[in-house]
Structure 1
Amino acid sequence: MTGSPCRCGSRAGRWVRRFQAGAQRMSRKTAKRIVDLVRRTAIGSAVLASLGACALNGSVEPPNGMSPNAMPTLAPMLERVLPGVVSIAASGQFSAEEMALIRDPEFRAMLGLPKRMRPEEERFLVQGSGIVIDAPTGTILTTRHLVDGADDITVTLKDARSLPGRIVGTDADGDIAVVQVEARDLVAVPLGNSDDLRVGDFVVAIGNPFGLAQTATLGIVSGLGSRNPTEPDGSFIQTDASINPGNSGGALVTLRGELVGVNDSLIGSAVGNSGIGFAIPIARANRSVDRLLRRKIDRP
């Protein structure tokens, strides 16, 4: 796969600080445009990430054979769910409009980039996550902004197998995409019901931060029907579960391991908030998936 490697670190930190400072002087429309572009740049995976949330109703019963007084653990649930969450690397050519913005001296100066554009900057490489929702057909659910415009998709499973992926279709309004792979022994994440969520329910966000090994972070549903400032279409689940770059498209599950959300984005201080995470409710995502699989949504 071609393209520059995804880098994170001190330079990415400068990106974040410069982007946040510049966003305060931008119009909302301009800031949204740059947010969309930064999402798809190599260093941009350290600027914005995806996130998600949805939750569990009821109490958590101790696993069979464990005393109710034993130290609680999510390990048994995660052992079942983690194989169903995959890493996705998407590479492609920037559009003419995006190239014009990348070449803009003020834009490059704001993000701390060299004045002269390098050849490798003509392609984007982003890393995120996906969720196996149907094992026999190799159907994977992820976010549209992760794979939009990509001409090369690589899916890496928990057992380290790397497979070529094919975009079945995308839903721009719902920020949902369906990718398929050909593989045996896939594990699907059980579907839950996001309509049953309540504020205060515990949730676990699973993804592949920085393109590395999987992580799972625990939090609660802090809001339902929330509006995401960078995604004006549709309502979201808001969570305080810790989300890292690379979690976009990952799973938000209940403590029982049921999928209730698709990690979508993390909003930081660039828009006046700190660490607010958003996830697409699985009920809404399922409607997009059904239409995509029936080819009722055309890929843009």
Structure 2
Amino acid sequence: MDSQNQPISAPTLFSSFAAITKARLAISVVFSTIAGYVLGVDSWGSDNLVVLLLLAIGGYCMVGASNVFNQVLEKDLDALMDRTKSRPLPAGLISKNNALILGFILTILGLVILYAVNPKTAMFGAISIFMYVCLYTPLKTVTPLSVFVGAFPGAIPYMLGWVAATGNFGIEAGTLFIIQFFWQFPHFWAIGWFLYDDYKKAGFFMLPTGQRDKKTALQTILYTVWMMLASLIPALGMTGKLYLTKISAALVVLLGCWMLFYAVKLYKEMDAKAARKLMIVSVSYISLLQIIFILDKFLR
């Protein structure tokens, strides 16, 4: 029997769906959204659990759609890189047309679900997917400024949760946005450093100078410092309902110093191993930071 006529098994469909929507990345983004929502809620009831479920599903749909469209646009480039050549599209597991259909279905479904939460949440979700697909993705092969552009949709999920909880975009949501905005730079530059050779095959420009040099490493340190300072803004009592106690602020400083240590280590060692370690620490940093903010709210 022709292998093309054989039905695709459920596990293969699931693994292909997880791969083309980048499930691990999508789940981490959804976690940021939920963290922002928990920070914005004043009181808890059964309705909050419904909204959380809608945010989780709608958020995954929007991030998944962004990743699907990204892979459709970069199908041929993904085939050139070792890290991505086994993805469903370059590997031929999913056709380009079917991927586009999936992307549009996820987009519409995500927007409808987020609109059910409130219109502003859907609006920011739409802005995020537009910037990621139409601006960040094509700019990756043109200029290192793609990381700057990509930092905008990347920073939206954390504040999106607050907007979902309150229906408003104010100083609190803006502060959450700024924190995650500055975090994007050391995180993605670390990735761009240790995957430099692979990215080069596809012509991606991810590092600020285009090279793994001291200037790139120094900028990684500087943006880590900016990230640390932004994370401490709520401790100053100037961000409305978003507030951080002195004890939690001290924990945030320690957490930031932990990440700064590995940024400095990259500057000293200038190798892929140090960059990979910084990337891993950065992922832990943003999750732990959000947990500290949540615990601070409920324990103070």
What is the TM-score of this pair, normalised by structure 1?
0.31
TM-score, normalised by the number of residues in structure 2: 0.31
Of structures 1 and 2, the one scoring higher in RCO (CA 8 A, sep 6+) is 1
Higher-strand-fraction structure: 1
Higher CA-based Rg: 2
| Higher helix fraction (1 or 2) | 2
